[in-house]
Amino acid sequence: MAIVITNVFDGLHVKVFEVTMTADADTVAFINHGLASITGDNVFAWITTMQQAVGELSAWAVINANDTDVQVEKSIAVGSGDAAPQLRVTVFVTEAPVFG
């Protein structure tokens, strides 16, 4: 069982990670995005599958995106483990509006 998260793009407000889960039993990954967002900032995350068959089979979803990390989860584990990255997660942070 191993979960590998690789940062493939590192921007000011955007980061892109590739996620590899080698075992079927690996179902949840927490990605620490490190974008230094503060409470009130808007954090968005979306998934692009890298291996179409494995990605569609696994039914990946972003469960939570907050100030420090993004949680992705696959709902179908059987036959989903692979040594190559299964998905790419893009994290984007927008600054909260300042009023006053």
The predicted structure's pLDDT at residue 67: 83
Q: CB of 96 within 8 A of CB of 43?
A: no
Q: CB of 47 within 8 A of CB of 59?
A: no
| Residue whose C-alpha is closest to residue 31's, from 54, 77, 59, 62 | 62
Distances (CA, A) of 38 to 6, 63, 70, 83, 93: 24, 20, 15, 35, 10
The predicted structure's pLDDT at residue 74: 84
Query: SS3 of 14, please?
Result: strand
| Residue whose C-alpha is closest to residue 95's, from 36, 32, 16 | 36
Q: pLDDT tens for residues 26-63?
A: 889 999 998 866 666 788 898 887 765 555 567 788 99
In the chain, what is the straight-line distance between the N-terminal and C-terminal CA atoms, in Å? 51
